[in-house]
Structure 1
């Protein structure tokens, strides 16, 4: 029986663990709409516009150190001055087509898709935390705890704007990288998890199993 137990544990260790096990394409997982097209750079013009806009916002708030009220006021001042000059020139030069208010750039469906994705992902957080906490292997659990701690330490050295911008960059880069290199990433993660499982098995064999157990645990083991 001991031999079968050891062989089962060896088979368990040799089994590759995937970083993300998914049957659907990444595009469908992200919602399959406008937001998915932007995150996966399938609509390159919209993705580039959003990237440029987020970079400008980060530059204004973090590098130039503007605050939100200043940005909003100066934006409306610039727009009002531009419209005033535009209308005056149209009146003086007698243009046939007077200036008009441009149409909304972002469609309503974009915000609906974004809200739907956030709603679905938020409802998946608690079951995922329960799964990782209670049902995952100890090496995976410890790896997640260490990763979260490292992220928290790194986050203490960045401002909130920098964290938002870094999060946005991850949203714009990680999905398309994982879509293109899905197999390579899973293989790399699987190799790392195999090494961690072997280290844990050695630690369990050399240290944990040598800890004296009480009578109740001895009866259960028998």
Structure 2
């Protein structure tokens, strides 16, 4: 019965290599991301390793390895290190610029609707979202938030893909409760705002 309402999570995530990792279709990629994120979080958060020192040491190690590899290849008549083409294409830059433009336009559209159109619902939603972000940010530092985001990215999509019908039922229920509460609050807020008739406006 709920089958026609199912969506393809893999397609919604782009149906590419990233979607394969997030849905654990490429389990090696998922394990690599999870282990790497955990190792980095432990190094910087628990072991107290400095980020700048870590980056410098990694780059230093790579430079030394590549230099020694190239020297050994030259002496032993072996192929040089297989370095990729380290160049950003114009197509990649244009794609990033388009995505950034869409994101900025959405932010500006929200600001326009709040400031010019005085959209009370949108204003309350933005205020609520920012308050939640601020509250969560006060509980964890930035690095821990990123790590939690990685863990959620590797768990929520695959759980939703597996239990989509049950989760949708719960979401519909929560959405209905939210709409009921919002309508009540909206009615109360509007009732508190003084209303002026045209005659009163002319007198003022």
TM-score class, shorter-chain normalisation, is 0.5 to 0.7
What's the CA shift for 1:67?
A: 1.3
Q: Where does residue 102 of structure 2 map in the other structure?
A: 123
Aligned counterpart in structure 1 of residue 138 of structure 2, from 135, 146, 156 = 156
What does residue 182 of structure 1 align with?
Answer: 164
TM-score using structure 2 length: 0.61
* 1:56 aligned to which of 39, 42, 45: 39
Moved more, 125-134 or 200-209: 125-134
Q: Please list, as runs of the form range in 1=range in 2, the aligned pairs for 1:28-47 lying within 5 A after superposition.
A: 28-47=11-30
Kept in 2: contact 1:39–1:176 (CA 8 A): yes
Q: What is the CA–CA distance in structure 2 between the aligned matches of 1:71 and 1:26, rounded to whole Å? A: 36
Task: Tell whether the 8 Å contact from 2:6 to 2:164 is kept in structure 1 after alignment.
Answer: no
Q: CA deviation at 1:157?
A: 3.4
> For the Cα contact (< 8 Å) 2:10–2:23, is it kept in 1?
yes
Classify 1:117/1:103 alpha carbon distance in 2 versus 1 (closer, same or farther; 3 Å). Answer: same
TM-score, length of structure 1 as denominator length: 0.57
Q: 1:154 to 1:124 in 2, by over 3 A?
A: same
The answer for unaligned runs of 5 or more in structure 1 is 1-21, 85-97, 217-222
Deviation at 1:63, TM superposition (A): 0.9
| Bigger relative CO (Cα 8 Å, ≥ 6 apart) | 1
Distance in 2 separating the partners of 1:146 and 1:47: 33
Gap regions ≥5 residues in structure 2 = 69-77, 199-204
How many pairs align?
Answer: 179
| Residue 215 of structure 1: aligned partner | 197
1:26 match = 9
Displacement of 1:199 in angstroms is 3.0
Contact residue 6 and residue 165 of structure 2 kept, 8 A: no
Quote how far apart the aligned CAs of 1:23 are: 8.0
